[in-house]
Structure 1
Amino acid sequence: MSTAEAPAPAAAAGDSNCRVVPEGFEVRTEGKVSILQRANDVFFNPAQVINRDMSLSVLKYFIAQRETEIESGEARKRFQKAANAGAAGAGAKPAQPGEGVRVLEGLAASGLRAIRYATELEGVWEVVANDLDPSVVESMKRNIAFNGGVAAEKVTTSVGDARLACLQNSYLFDAVDLDPYGSPSKLLDSAVQAVNEGGLLLITATDMAVLCGNHGEACYAKYASYPLHKPYCHEMALRILLASIEQHAARYKRYIVPVLSLSIDFYIRVFVRVYTSAAEVKNVATRLGYVWQSTGCDSFYWQAVGRRTTKGGNSVKYQPGYGPAVSEKCPETGSNFTMGGPFWSQPLHDQEWVAGLLEQIRADKANLPAFDKLHSILTAVSEELPDAPLYFNLHDVCKTLRTTPPRSEVLRSALVNAGYRVSGSHANPLGVKTDAPWSVVWDIMRCWVQQHPVKKPAPGSAAESILAKEPELKADLSRAAQAVSKARQKGVARFLPNPEANWGPKPRHGRPAKQQKHQHGPQQEEQAEQAEQMAEQQAEQRAGDDAAAADGAAADGVAAEQAEAAAEPMQQDGEADGGASEAQA
């Protein structure tokens, strides 16, 4: 059967037993949906099942939350307030109970995600699946017909620029999903105008080489923020994207509330709700910050861009933030500082949403192909400190001092025993988030080195400067129950290895097979091997076997370097290969 004839037999009431697969095509199934794929004529990446499952789950939770807000009258009040301020677009109206949501997928490619939204979520009444490439939209139509039934009823295709699709439907979508091949920066201004009051934006960025600091000048041009290529770069990438969305929204008297912000494999994905309030927009600068990074050690400090002061209970004044947050030189090494940002300094997640999502995906386990990964990510997110921007990498700190890394539990216990809070980070298995000042962190490490002596540091090195000081805090390295992850105590996995080799970005659709082969060559095989090494290392750590305990490693820091090299490919940030990092998830 020819390709042109594919839709006709596929449209037979959506019965999978009656569907005919055209010659040259293969069927790919995900969740309750199947699509037709022929080579790389339309973009499809199996690795993005995590993104699609997570998006499906967040949208489902949003629909339930929105229905509650509609029934309570809160949604109508918010809409009326926006309408009175002249912010609501022509044709926009307050949501009614039980009417369902209208979703725009601006860059729909194969249409798999749009079809899953329509098929697997009862609260969706229409999905507009848009793409700029007419041939891709024809493929979308073929896949919609192949699934038939609800997909044919609810999914509407559209050919054109996603920005026009947004601008021509101002305030008319309850959710806007943008998952571009690379940077979403050009799409943000129109996206914040398209979503209804209290609506949901779902945004992906895969230009991690840019966002993580390999190309800082490009990041500033795209996002108006300067990144720093440091261990916390994956979280900083999330915060840069959120800051950009916030500033675009502010131009239209709107502001954002992040409900979930994730760094996954080779991309980042944020879920934010958008509201309208001229008064709240005045607080934008207070929600953004700059980071000061020591060039000689791991120490970093941050400060707010703006501040809000209240006098007499009623008078509110907005002013620039105090600064600088640091002295001219680093107090530990005497080195200079580099400045990054501005970035989003407020919480990345709504912990009530995270708890609700965990409960929801457990109930939906049978319908989520990537359940294990979703559960591990959300579990790690649920334990993060909400008010401690950025994190440090324990092994990087130990590499600076040329010492054997303590087990994470030891450092975390010392911080808890000193009266501070501490958590891990979903963005890095070795990440440590804490509200303790760096002076305390370095004192704890000085005490650790006193108990685990190292060779005399090289003259003029950061290690020499830091270890020359006597610790003012006598660190208590004994085990503290609060320092141990609750998930770890229960045996719940927080970081899972990738399920197969070459689990990462894929080439643009239509690219010749030769180029595809090039992108999946020895480099990615090596990354897969390193990811396996990381998984083995984590298993050893859980069992209490600290592989870095050798005295030789203490002398030269090899253990820290190996752990760092194994951890980074696990996150698949694509920083080493600018081209690969631009690939769509």
Structure 2
Amino acid sequence: MTLTPNEKTLDPPEGFTVLQEGKARILQRENDVFYNKAQVVNRDLSLSVMRQFQKVRAKEHAETKRAPKNRRLKGDMCHDEPETGDDDKKEPRGKKDGEAEAGGDDETPREKPPLKPVRILEGMAASGLRAIRYARELDDVGCVVANDLDPTAIASIARNVEFNAAHSAEAANRVRVVVPSAGDVRMLMMQHEKMFDAVDLDPYGTPSTLLDGAVQTVADGGLLLVTATDMAVLCGNNGEVCWTKYGAYPHRAKYCHEQAVRILLGSIDAAAGKYKRHIVPVMSVSVDFYIRCFVRVYTSAQQAKLAPTKVSYVYQCVGCDTFECQPVGKAVTKGNSTKFQAGSGPVVPRECPNCGWHYNMGGPFWTEPIHDMEWVDAIKKQVEENKAMYPGYDKIHALLTTVSEELPDVPLHYDIHSMSHCLRVTPPPMALFRSAVINAGYRVSPAHCNPLAVKTDAPAKVLWDILRCWVKEHPVKPIPEKTPGVVILSKEPELVANWTRVHGAFTKAQREGVTRFPSNPEENWGPKMRAGRPVPGGGLEKQGMTKKQRTEASK
């Protein structure tokens, strides 16, 4: 990133090291405050989405003729603003003393107030790195509340704000909007209803206990940014835990990472529905060891009623890769009247028509689009034009390129290697398989969360027919026992695969020479230990202390 002219990094205090990311610098002392270098992708992606949100927010404000209806409870977090109460206080309906009767033509419409700078809440700020990057790298920021429950983290945030301010007058002017806050973020959010235009939650583990407050504290049309790192739970290793935390039962399937994204989206929307609110995802991704969802939150009792139509139960065959989605509810419109009913089902027979094995039922999962493609394209263009602003450019550009190719209206995906393994056959080349699907009259695309994914609106029967044709040209060894693959191959294909290669079978990334899934830049690129624990090879462990001695020393 291009730094401010003449902004040389100052020497750190004794015992600290300086870590720089973008324009922000933080002081780190071993593992006293949580920091994960791998989350640079998360932070870069958040900044790119925030920039797009600010553009869309400004455009919507300019095009809206009436004043916004946001009503915010009084709070003292953004102390730099003269007013922290209601944005627009309505005048009394009655006439003022001495006011003459006036006709409709003489009535003056209520003036729309100017757009206020964006107010941001970072719920678990740790060192304050993300909050400082928001303050230093975004324009028109009114307030960034950097909250944490750990007193050590609060001291670190204040120290890092002061350290950044010392580098230049420009830096000092920008970081002054960072407001350290000590306390439970759940209580903070409950006390500041519709206060923040953007709420960023990046907890260590699950965000499930934070969602109820998050959907209340974000302003109408505001942006909610949520991270979940409990992937073992969301991907089906602990289905009962996932049910208690998110209200959905996961499958252990090849689409588990996309499933994780959809479970979190469904949980956020369920939390919003309690307050007559609903969500509109702008981008939701699975990256490395976590998922990250970006959604806008709106208030509408009518839209909140549509929540059951946006989630589905998923029937997953235990023998093969076949799955089917069954919406929880449906909306029936007759004339000007809309009635909400339970979804019709079941959408599958008792046994899988492809292999004969039974189904497991999971869900409900969010089955509406998880991306707004206009947002994705705009974010990708902005990132490409400002490459120097993003330390993790290679990874986020590859991610955005792959996301831009996804079919937005197709939930979940198949895995070509898993399907081929079921038949004990070498998988066909991806471009050849996609060509066969397109030639059969269906759409197909890759998926950002799995390099082997096939996202298509073709029914499973068509995919199995294409693979049956592939096996006819590439015979497999006979299998003595009855397996799902044997049952599938015992049926003749109703569709004859056309293997003629088509242009749409090659991804945009392939045509542009973009690596879709770049390698991690260094070893151990993943989750890090909680703050406060001794770093292996450093600190207390250097002194040769046992675990018991370290525990006693830390008291």
Cα 1:105–1:336 change in 2 (3 A) is: same
Whether 2:348 is the aligned partner of 1:326: answer yes
Alignment partner, residue 538 of structure 1: none
| 1:393 maps onto 2:393 in alignment | no
- 1:73 paired with 2:64, answer yes
Does the 8 Å contact 1:137/1:159 carry over to 2?
yes
Shift of 1:405: 0.8
Matched, 1:367 2:394: no
**Aligned counterpart for 2:326 among listed residues 303, 323, 343:** 303
Q: Counterparts of 1:327-476 in structure 2 under 5 Å?
A: 327-476=349-498
Distance 1:67 1:96 in 2: 13
Percentage identity across aligned positions?
54
Give the distance between the partners of 1:443 and 1:19, measured in 2 at CA: 65
Q: Secondary structure in 2 aligned to 1:243?
A: helix
Task: List aligned pairs for 1:73-472, cutoff 5 A.
Answer: 73=64, 76=66, 79-80=68-69, 89=73, 91-93=85-87, 96-148=113-165, 149-311=172-334, 313-472=335-494
Conserved? CA contact 1:71–1:97, under 8 Å: no
Deviation at 1:18, TM superposition (A): 7.9
SS in 1 for 2:176: helix
Once the two structures are TM-superposed, the CA of residue 426 in structure 1 deviates from its matched residue by 0.1
Give the superposition deviation at 1:39: 0.5
Distance 1:365 1:487 in 2: 17
- Give the aligned residue type for 2:149: L
Residues 28 and 37, structure 1, Cα contact 8 Å, conserved in 2: yes
Deviation at 1:444, TM superposition (A): 0.2
Aligned to 1:61: 52
Deviation at 1:514, TM superposition (A): 4.0
Structure 1 Cα separation of the partners of residues 26 and 328 of structure 2:
47
Aligned-partner residue type, residue 100 of structure 1:
P
Greater shift in the superposed pair: 481-490 or 199-208: 481-490
Structure 2 gaps, min length 5: 75-84, 89-111, 166-171, 540-555
Q: Which residue of 2 aligns with 1:482?
A: 504
RMSD: 1.8
* 8 Å Cα contact 2:401-2:508 kept in structure 1: no
Aligned length: 497
Flag the 1:14–1:179 CA change in 2: closer, same or farther, 3 A.
Answer: farther
Determine the C-alpha separation between the residues in 2 that align with 1:382 and 1:503. 25
The residue type paired with residue 286 of structure 1 is: T
- CA distance in structure 2 between the aligned counterparts of 1:457 and 1:70, rounded to whole angstroms: 65
2:353 corresponds to which letter in structure 1? P
Separation in structure 2 between the aligned mates of residue 20 and residue 151 of structure 1, nearest angstrom: 21
Q: Which residue of 1 aligns with 2:34?
A: 43
**Secondary structure in structure 2 of the residue aligned to 1:397:** helix
Whichever residue aligns with residue 504 of structure 1, its letter is: G
Q: Distance in 2 between matches of 1:515 and 1:327?
A: 58
Inter-CA distance 251–503: structure 2 relative to 1 (3 Å threshold): same
- Structure 1 SS opposite 2:205: coil
CA–CA distance in structure 2, aligned partners of residues 195 and 150 of structure 1: 26
Offset, 1:150: 3.1
For residues 351 and 31 of structure 1, the distance between their equivalents in structure 2, rounded to whole angstroms, comes to: 27
Q: Which has the higher helix share?
A: 1
CA deviations on 1:155-196 (whole Å, 9 max, x unpaired) are: 000000011111111111000000000000000000000000
Larger Rg over CA atoms: 2
Q: Which residue type is aligned with residue 512 of structure 1?
A: P
Matches of 1:446 and 1:162 in 2, distance apart?
Answer: 55
Q: Quick one: which amino acid aligns to residue 287 of structure 2? A: I
Q: Find the aligned partners of 2:24 and 2:113 in 1 and give their Cα distance.
A: 29
Q: Give, in whole Å, the separation in 2 of the partners of 1:345 and 1:191.
A: 22
Shift of 1:363: 1.7
Tell me the equivalent position of 1:563. none
- Deviation digits for residues 99-122 of structure 1 (CA, Å, limit 9, x no counterpart): 310000000000000000000001
Tell which deviates more after alignment, 267-276 or 91-100.
91-100
Alignment partners' CA distance in 2, 1:136 and 1:291: 42
Amino acid at match of 1:39: E
